[in-house]
Structure 1
């Protein structure tokens, strides 16, 4: 399968310019997702104005998902939505792939600058497994008496003892959260396993 020299990744929307001497690769160098066209889906759906039960109506009913995205934008659907969680603006933005917090699908200038400043003050900033943005340290959580440590059969004692402290990180782009053992507890765990 021959690809164009310039290509847009369907996953992260990054323009990929291939070197003609090396040739195309099978995955995006930015997001590492596969670039093959085999993942496209086509569904057979009946159109709203289609009143025939067969024939030309079925052929016209075969459409791709992209052609039906406009149906998501019906204002009546949002007005009748009784969930009221975030309001119609938020739902509309999520369905269209735009977050209402970001300008043009990327970080807003002020938001982005503040995020960078916060990350610069952190000792460590893990990378989000979903979108590969650096994550913000949101806080800590300690486990005390409710934590029941496990003792592996080859060790004399548990490698984690109370209190155990976890650091909570939040991705400023996709808002995924991740917890990690605090640095002190990581060091304690390494020593306990080595000595055990």
Structure 2
């Protein structure tokens, strides 16, 4: 009996000698011969030849290769998104090695180091902001006798070091105050 490993789901497939191997995996139904991978070469950007060879899947997508699976076609039809790391735009005009060294020193001093939800770089604590009753309208829930949290409260303001996304979260004392408040509510 002939054995094949599906490159998509990593399942070992044993084919009957009389029937022989099929074109598609019986488990995930993807094409066994149409598996495509992307090779990215790190090095000189001037080396265009290696890039063309490793990106031959784009040509297949343009030609409308009907033999590939749905997922492979879906991946090929979409171009890779541009970098969401806004920091990369400043590479020519600023010394990003010093920038990253400074960021590392700051991150070493932080108690919490959240990941950016957009680009997964680390976020630095920029400061704190107090939310007062002015400009803040709390949501009223019928399950509660009062808002989830009453102003004034403070939030930590974090800035992503890669895409500069700004994120906030409650400071520790206000987290405790909110948990205490919600745990005392009767249903």
**What does 1:155-194 align with in structure 2 at a 5 Å threshold?**
155-194=144-183
CA contact (8 A) 1:127 1:134 kept: yes
Q: Within 1, Cα distance between the matches of 2:170 and 2:89?
A: 32
Is 1:3–2:36 an aligned residue pair? yes
Task: Measure how far apart 1:37 and its partner are.
Answer: 5.2
Q: Within 1, Cα distance between the matches of 2:155 and 2:130?
A: 6
**What does 1:1-196 align with in structure 2 at a 5 Å threshold?**
1-4=34-37, 7-8=39-40, 36=72, 38-41=74-77, 99-102=88-91, 108-146=96-134, 147-196=136-185
- Structure 1 residue ranges, 4+ long, deviating more than 6 angstroms after superposition: none
CA contact (8 A) 2:107 2:113 kept: yes
- C-alpha RMSD of matched pairs (Å): 3.2
Task: Measure how far apart 1:172 and its partner are.
Answer: 0.8
* Residue deviations 1:84-123 (CA, integer Å, cap 9, x gap): xxxxxxxxxx8xx8824336xxx82211111011111111
Specify the SS of the correspondent of 1:175.
coil
Q: Give me the TM-score of the superposition, normalised by structure 2.
A: 0.52
Specify the SS of the correspondent of 1:7.
coil
Whose relative contact order is higher, 1 or 2, with alpha carbons under 8 Å and at least 6 apart? 2
Specify the SS of the correspondent of 2:39.
strand
Specify the SS of the correspondent of 1:155.
coil
Q: Give me the TM-score of the superposition, normalised by structure 1.
A: 0.50
CA contact (8 A) 1:127 1:133 kept: yes
Q: Within 1, Cα distance between the matches of 2:87 and 2:105?
A: 24
CA contact (8 A) 2:119 2:162 kept: yes
Q: Within 2, Cα distance between the matches of 1:193 and 1:102?
A: 47
CA contact (8 A) 2:35 2:72 kept: no
Change (3 A) 1:126 1:101: same
Change (3 A) 1:113 1:161: same
